[in-house]
Amino acid sequence: MGSKKGYRPSAEFLAELEGVDLNSDVDFYFSSAYREMVNRYYSKKINVLHRNDSLEYGLRGVTVYATVPNQLIRNELIYKKAEYDLYQTIDFEAFYKIFMSASTDEENNAKITKIYKDLMRVNKGQPSPKFIDYEKHSGGTLSLDDLKGKYIFIDVWATWCGPCIKELPDLQRIEKDYHGKNISFLSISIDIPKDYDKWKKMVVDKKLGGIQVIADNAFDSQFVLDYNIKSIPRFILIDPNGVIVSQNAPKPSDPELINLFNEFNI
């Protein structure tokens, strides 16, 4: 099958893939069209299965890729899935176990193992990484240790992030519902310096509550790097002693967040 830059199979063509051999590693590595067919086949399979079960999306994906018959193709697809999704999945320990049982590429395994070990350092029960003297919107500075004694729900966000903005009304609702309880709500902006004024204005315009601070170096802030944050919004729950409850907590619009709060009698 020939290769053509920018080629995309039609929906009708994809519907006929059931009869196509998708296990040729030679075609997979030398034909972009064939590779596209294989990728779309498994992506569609993941999405269909995900709609019909409660398994978290990342786990569903790695589980599907673990069943790819051709080992070379499996190694490639499951690595590409793990390289990004391992950071995002809630149960990264289960994800890692599935990956390691399915992949035979030693170089890829070493890379994913490094990511896994980095995530384990901020797993539930570990002391939270800290930040010192982040600028507060209300004036002055704040260090994470200043909030010890209460649970801390952290929202890592930025003014340019659409999904972050979408969560703000639910975050404001929850902040109101939990006002006076044993929890502080902390929003950490990772806006870059040129968007500093935009951050200052948005907090006022949207009447954002909780404690509003801005990180010292955007995505390259040490606190963000320590938590392996690759995309936002990201939500973190820390207990009154500075120990991590969840390094990837449910978002405010997810009812599971209230279940998590109830589990710890917040």
pLDDT in tens, 201-222: 999 999 999 999 999 999 999 9
Q: How far apart are CA 163 and CA 186, in angstroms?
A: 17
Listed by start position, the domains of the chain span 11-120, 134-263
pLDDT in tens, 87-143: 888 899 999 999 999 999 999 999 999 999 999 999 999 999 999 999 999 999 999
Q: How far apart are CA 190 and CA 225, in angstroms?
A: 12
Hey, what CATH class is 134-263 in? Answer: alpha beta
pLDDT band with cut points at 50, 70 and 90 for residue 2: very low
Q: Which of 17, 59, 57, 58 is CA-nearest to residue 38?
A: 17
Q: 245: number of CA atoms within 13 Å, CB side?
A: 24
pLDDT in tens, 241-257: 999 999 999 999 999 99
Region 189-207: mean pLDDT is 97
